[in-house]
């Protein structure tokens, strides 16, 4: 067995999303020397994942960051019912009791956990994980890209690139966690077999700012499903207007035909889609971003090879329905970190 001096760190974590950030925080809390690297200059720049369920809140409670998460998120009562409508200003088709907010399920949810479900966009979740990981001793390196790895019986040697200086260097660790997302280099390099289907449907995300309180504050919800002409096309089966912050920051999801060339997404196109789903053309709208993505339903049939483990989107890519992506990512790391700590 090599001495501690032969290792630069005990665990190298590649990726700073929900899986990587929680892995670093957990390992640092357990007193394990941890280095987290991400090729990006900062954390999530769009609110992507957001539904944070009770089991995940229990993990955050175990880490003593649940109060911080609750302060940054929207509480369950504002997550409200799931609303189905023809547009935010149009006919309401119905509401579905969701997230334990109805009088019957509120008691059931309350009895099931000491924590409450919240809506915590990824832009707020990731800094909580990574800031606390750093405060507890994890080393965090931004602008540091994972290139390749080699492993042997005693450890893993990773080749990394400093994207500020441009040079390459190696880090020697006892174990490596690949939490580098749906296009994971780590999972690819260790040859994890991926089953399921990729590219099931084409989706677009549009984030925007607009005060929609007069249409929604009386029927709070985190998800307003919108049935419009064309809503069946690609995407997730319907148009979606999702609350990011009540009631002035939003994320809209719309679909496109994945068998056709992807649409050109300029600001005028994004604004047209927003006005259509909201159902009012006179509302001031600030488009903050737009991006295309594909709905995947695939998973690795093996999560590890030797001393390299993968977690999160690297090994399971869920359709976004029911908000399982970030929750399962954090559960992966929760399950893995205590085992690595014991070893």
DSSP states of 51-117: EE-HHHHHHHHHTT-HHHHHHHSEEHHHHBPEEEESSTTS-EEEEE--TT-SHHHHHHHHHH-SS--
Domain at 76-115+199-296: CATH architecture = 2-Layer Sandwich (3.30)
**Mean pLDDT over the full length of the chain:** 92
Q: 226: closest CA among 251, 209, 247?
A: 251
Instruction: Report pLDDT for 232.
Output: 75
Query: Residues 70-81, buried b or exposed e (16+ Cβ, 10 A)?
Result: bebbbebebbbb
Domains of the chain, residue spans = 4-73+120-192+302-342, 76-115+199-296
Residue 244 has pLDDT above 90, yes or no: yes
pLDDT value of residue 190: 97
pLDDT tens digits, one per residue of 92-136: 999 998 888 777 788 888 899 999 999 999 999 999 999 999 999
CATH number corresponding to 4-73+120-192+302-342: 3.50.50.60
> Helix, strand or coil for residue 40?
coil
pLDDT of residue 293: 80
pTM over 0.95: no
């Amino acid at each position: 067995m090599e001495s501690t001096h032969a290792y630069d760190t005990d665990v190298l974590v590649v990726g700073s999303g929900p899986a990587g950030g929680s892995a670093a925080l957990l390992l640092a809390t357990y007193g394990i020397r941890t280095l987290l690297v991400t090729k990006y200059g900062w954390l999530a720049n769009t609110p992507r994942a957001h539904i944070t369920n009770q089991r995940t809140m229990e993990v955050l409670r175990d880490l003593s960051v649940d109060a911080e998460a609750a302060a940054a998120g929207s509480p369950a009562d504002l997550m409200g019912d799931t609303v189905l409508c023809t547009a935010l200003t149009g006919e309401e088709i119905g509401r579905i009791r969701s997230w334990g907010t109805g009088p019957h399920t509120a008691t059931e949810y309350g009895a099931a956990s000491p924590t409450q479900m919240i809506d915590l966009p990824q832009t707020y979740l990731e800094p909580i994980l990574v800031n606390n990981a750093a405060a507890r001793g994890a080393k965090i390196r931004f602008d540091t890209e994972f290139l390749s790895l080699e492993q042997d019986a005693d450890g893993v040697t990773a080749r990394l690139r400093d994207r500020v200086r441009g040079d390459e260097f190696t880090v020697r660790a006892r174990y490596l966690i690949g939490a580098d997302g749906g296009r994971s280099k780590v999972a690819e390099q260790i040859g994890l077999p991926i089953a399921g289907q990729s590219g099931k449907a084409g989706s677009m995300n549009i984030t925007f700012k607009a005060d929609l309180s007069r249409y929604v504050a009386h029927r709070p919800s985190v998800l307003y499903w919108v049935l419009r002409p064309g809503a069946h096309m690609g995407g997730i089966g319907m148009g979606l207007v999702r609350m990011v912050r009540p009631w002035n920051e939003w994320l809209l999801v719309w679909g496109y035909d994945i068998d056709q060339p992807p649409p050109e997404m300029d600001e005028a196109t994004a604004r047209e889609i927003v006005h259509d789903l909201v159902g009012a053309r006179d509302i001031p709208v600030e488009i903050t971003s737009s991006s295309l993505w594909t709905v995947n339903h695939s998973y690795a049939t093996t999560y590890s090879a030797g001393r390299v483990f993968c977690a999160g989107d690297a090994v399971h890519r869920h359709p976004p329905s029911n908000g399982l992506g970030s929750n399962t990512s954090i559960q992966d790391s929760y399950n893995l970190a205590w085992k690595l700590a014991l070893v």
